Chains A and B, each alone.
Chain A
Amino acid sequence: MNFKLLIEKAKLAGINEIEIYSEHNEGLKITLFEAKVDKYVLSNTVGLAVRGIYCGKMGYVSVENVSDDSIDFIINKLIENASTITSSEKSFIYAGSENYPKLNNNFDDFSLVDPQKKINLLLQLESKIYSLDSRITKVASCSYSETKVKTTIVNSKGLNLSKVDGYAFLSASAVAKENGDVKSDGDYTISKMCDFNVDELASKIVKRTVSLLNATPVESKSYPVIFENEVFVDLLSAFESMFSGEAALKNLTMLKDKVGQKIVNDKVTLIDDPLTSLSFFNNAFDDEGVACLTKEVISNGVLNTLLHNLKTANAFNVKSTGNGFKASLNAPISVSSNNLYLKPGTTSLNELIASTNEGLFITSLQGLHAGVDPVSGNFSLQSSGFLIENGKISRPVTLIVVSGNFLKMLNEVEEIGKDLIFTPSQLGSPSVKITSLAVSGK
């Protein structure tokens, strides 16, 4: 599409400011089942998400037919949608920040690698999983996927930013059987280079799967609970919207009026760092073109700031924190964290376990889209993991429910581990020990 033509035509139609966010995706996914390629998926798509200000209000439209034929459709829909808005918050199209952080973002062009090599990786992964433990009866969803995304933001105020990113995933799940009990679990690894450690991934998958065989519930009562690092990331992910300026604007977070106040235990420091080299993904700018920056959201228990985009920042009379991201190409600009992580402590996971007389070590949470409420902070989640007795892991545990409130739980953090990890969801955490949580089982 001729963007210049679109911008000119939009201006003539009374759309004073307009922005075009475009994404070009190329992908490949290969799935293996029982030593054969089960599914092979190739993709190449382009999408445009356009927003424009008409009579002071912002309208949104996205198209995938990217020929000039779509220009009139875009303009008509922008006007119709903008004219519908009645909320009074001011909207912005941004001219650009003075400086953007420089990122080191190298990745291999995976599309240049022979597909057979990728299939070989999967064959190796599948056979390794079977070979490690005779109780493994099936290897499922053994898949390789690669993505290359080119993003460009162009607007009528002269902004012209672009970025390219590429990465590949390798993942599988396994089913194990013993004495009539069946367990299933999986894991993944992600890389920007063609350097997968297949053996390490296979061992992790097998360990995760067989260690839960013959697991049973525990008695219902309160226990000290240690969440494994990746599991605490799941909780952060479920509740990150509590820190969103957009949620505050809509009265959907308990933290709306709490900036500057002590909200949790002073062991807790929560950092949003789009630039950290520890994470797999970095951003120099958000989806509105605002430069990204590092900030402490909670410093030793005190809420420093909420996360903002241009609109929510203006509504609260502060500056954008560079967190104006959208959930998907077609979604409007919202607010999202970017490498939000809990600052690690100095204790190892083994020490956390050793310091627990009777407690639970939770390694998996299920139903995260259903059993959590980011407005109230309450959660009640199907969990599995291990019972700790006398400082040692004593047996596997499943079909229990761990319940609590996110903020109360952060207030009852007993110890924070040092094993910080980041996941591809751009959130990070070490393992965390909570003094007490309600557990339902037998």
Chain B
Amino acid sequence: MISKQHAKLVLQNCLTTGGDFAEIFAENTIGNSLELSSGDISRSNTVNTYGAGIRILHESQEVYGYTNDLSFDGLNKLALSLAKSFDYEVNSIKFELLEEVVNNKHHNIIDPKQTSNEKKIKYMIETYEAAKSYHEDISQAIVTLLDESQDVYIFNSEGRMLKDSRCHVRMSLRVVASKNGVMQVATDSIGRNSGFEIFDNSDLKTFGREVAESAVTMLNAEEMVGQSIPVVIHNAFGGVILHEACGHLLEATSVAKGLSVFTNKLGEQIASSIVNATDDGTLTNSWGSLNVDDEGTKTKKNVLIENGVLKSYLVDKRNARKMKCDITGSSRRQNYRFSPTSRMTNTFFENGQSTYDEIISNTKFGLFAKKMGGGSVNPATGEFNFAVNEGYMIIDGKISYPVKGATLVGSGAEVLKKIDMIGNNLSFGHGMCGSSSGSIPTDVGQPTIRVSSITVGGRGGKK
């Protein structure tokens, strides 16, 4: 899309006013989305994202600009107008762009670019049928299938020049159960950095049926009674608690400015000693994985918490300058419209010593949060919230009746210290994470864990 010679000239022009680092991030992305509702394909859309972002740094100060005009004149005009906002002594930075080959670790076999809509629809129908036929109370099932093939081109004044190709596929299912004028929704999704072979290797019937089962169970569930109690959070998407209550607070974006409650806490005990947490962008074909981050740095496994002690933050190039520490291959952005910053990839609690059965049987009274929904956190205060999409009361060490409408609230720093049991059944859930550099695919994960006490909100109980 951009020649080596043009890229070099543009980068040189970026550095004419004292900038000490310049970068071009260009992309050409084809995304397709299909929607199946009421048994019919109701939407089919293709989006071509095409443009480039140019970034210039002076120490940790940043100017960024983006355009869809990828001609030399378009890029150069942008570079010059960006450079205008700096007025420092000019560094004589000399570089030659050296083309690198990125080793692709996340192969796709059934390439979306070569896959007909007809084949994609087969996957959707299989899921839809399984959900719709589960129970007579299922009034609607909506399946969406997204694929996105992103080619990125990165050039920078360190002489780096590389191309990386990413391929993301995701199926989401939303099921509605209705009875006597009451409606209940359940959702789930499967996402990978791979081709459509993931859906040949997944049991879509089970996926569809389980979401439908969740909707029917919750339709008939009692309202959660608000109270502070022990909460057992199940594996897979339950890992959203680590993502919100801890992960966001370890992103350099807020740490570098002293805006996170975990600023200056490296080496300190921030969680109970049984807690080990990792962010690993290298897991093969995982939804949050990448060969290289959006600054061209190879992704790696970053140990965040070891035996309860804070080991690392997630750091991008710019914040590394502020924090005087190493980059962690964590710099990400939704697309060329965003300048990159430190984000999560696949973030999870490592397995512990207990089994799922031991955790339940050792809980006299509490909430079992089998399926978690989304949540959010304020990094400055650490206050978080999560929706529990499918919950059950635990009574005398046994799973009892289902409850709906439960929301967990608390403070991240406190909840990490209150984790008192960790299971050995680590698995992953696939979400979209929204933050300052846009919406990006991330995996959350954990084994079943128990938190000794959390405030649980709900509509039931005392009136």
Contact = CB atoms under 8 A, between A and B. Distances in A.
B47 A367 contact: no
Contacts of B386: 367, 370
A63 to B, nearest CB: 5
Interface in B23-52: 34, 37-38, 40-51
B48 A63 contact: yes
Given A184-B381, A221-B462, A84 B44 contact: yes
A222 B463 contact: yes
B24 to A, nearest CB: 15
Interface of A: 33, 36-47, 59-66, 70, 73, 77, 80-89, 115, 138, 140, 173, 175, 182-184, 217, 220-222, 250-252, 254, 330-332, 366-367, 369-371, 373, 375-376, 378, 380-382, 398-405, 436, 438-442
A380 B386 CA distance: 10
B176 to A, nearest CB: 6
Interface in B405-452: 405-407, 409-411, 434
Nearest to B258: A138
Interface in B331-367: 337, 339
Interface string B369-387: 0000111101011011111
Contacts of B228: 442
A182 B185 contact: no
8 contacts: A40-B85, A42-B64, A45-B68, A64-B51, A70-B48, A84-B34, A382-B457, A440-B226
A61 B378 contact: no
Nearest to B410: A399
B65 interface: yes
B385 A366 contact: yes
Contacts of B411: 399
Contacts of A438: 226, 457-461, 463
Contacts of A217: 455
B320 interface: no
A39 B339 CA distance: 10
B121 A401 contact: no
A59 B257 CA distance: 46
B456 interface: yes
Q: Main SS of chain A's interface residues?
A: strand
B149 to A, nearest CB: 14
Interface string B58-71: 00111111111100
Nearest to B116: A80
B37 A440 contact: no
A422 to B, nearest CB: 24
A41 B185 contact: no
B273 interface: no
B54 to A, nearest CB: 9
A65 B71 CA distance: 11
Contacts of B227: 220, 440
A331 to B, nearest CB: 8
A93 B48 CA distance: 23
A330 B459 contact: no
Contact of B185 (A45, A371, A375): A375
Interface bracket on B:
35 or more
A40 B81 CA distance: 11
A63 B339 CA distance: 21
A63 B29 CA distance: 10
B85 A440 contact: no
B78 interface: yes
Nearest to A181: B381
A399 B462 CA distance: 19
B185 A376 contact: yes
A140 B65 contact: no
A398 B455 CA distance: 12
A332 B410 CA distance: 38
A54 to B, nearest CB: 11
Contacts of A381: 385, 407, 457
Q: For chain B, what secondary structure do more than half of its interface residues adopt (helix, strand, loop), or is it mixed?
A: strand
Given A250-B142, A370-B375, A39 B64 contact: yes
A382 B257 CA distance: 26
B101 interface: no
Contacts of B176: 251-252, 375
A252 B140 CA distance: 8
Given A60-B44, A70-B48, A140-B257, A46 B376 contact: no
Q: Which of A33, A138, A250, A382 lies at the interface centre, i.e. has the most chain B CB atoms within 10 A of its CB?
A: A382
A370 B44 contact: no
Nearest to A29: B64
A88 B61 CA distance: 55
Contacts of B140: 250-252
A127 B42 CA distance: 53
B109 interface: no
Contact of A87 (B40, B383, B461): B40
A371 B458 contact: no
B405 A41 contact: no
Interface string B228-240: 1000000000000
Contact of A380 (B43, B181, B183, B405): B405
A367 B387 contact: yes
A367 B43 contact: no
B259 interface: yes
A173 B337 CA distance: 23
Given A85-B42, A370-B375, A376-B183, A399 B47 contact: no
Given A45-B51, A62-B46, A140-B257, A440 B458 contact: yes
A7 B362 CA distance: 69
Contacts of A138: 257-259, 380
A183 to B, nearest CB: 6
Contacts of A65: 48, 50, 68
B184 interface: yes
Contacts of A175: 259, 380
5 smallest CB-CB distances across A and B, nearest first, come from: A401-B457, A440-B226, A370-B374, A184-B380, A382-B385
B64 A81 contact: no
A221 B63 CA distance: 51
Given A61-B45, A370-B387, 8 more contacts: A41-B65, A81-B46, A84-B41, A138-B258, A220-B461, A380-B407, A382-B407, A399-B455
A63 B384 CA distance: 38
Contacts of A45: 51, 66-68, 337
A88 B38 CA distance: 11
Interface in B145-179: 176, 178
Nearest to B405: A380
B117 interface: yes
Contact of B407 (A61, A250, A371): A371
A289 to B, nearest CB: 20
Interface in B78-111: 78, 81-82, 85
B41 A85 contact: yes
Nearest to A379: B405
B376 A370 contact: yes
Contacts of A173: 380
Nearest to B341: A39
Interface centre among B373, B386, B387 (most CB of A within 10 A): B387
A372 to B, nearest CB: 8
Contact of B62 (A40, A83, A366): A40
A252 B139 CA distance: 9
A439 B456 CA distance: 10
B188 to A, nearest CB: 14
Contact of B41 (A46, A80, A87): A87
Contacts of B69: 44
B385 A440 contact: no
Taking each of A33, A43, A59, A331, which has the highest tally of chain B beta carbons within 10 Å of its own beta carbon? Answer: A43
Contact of B44 (A85, A115, A382): A85
A87 B38 contact: yes
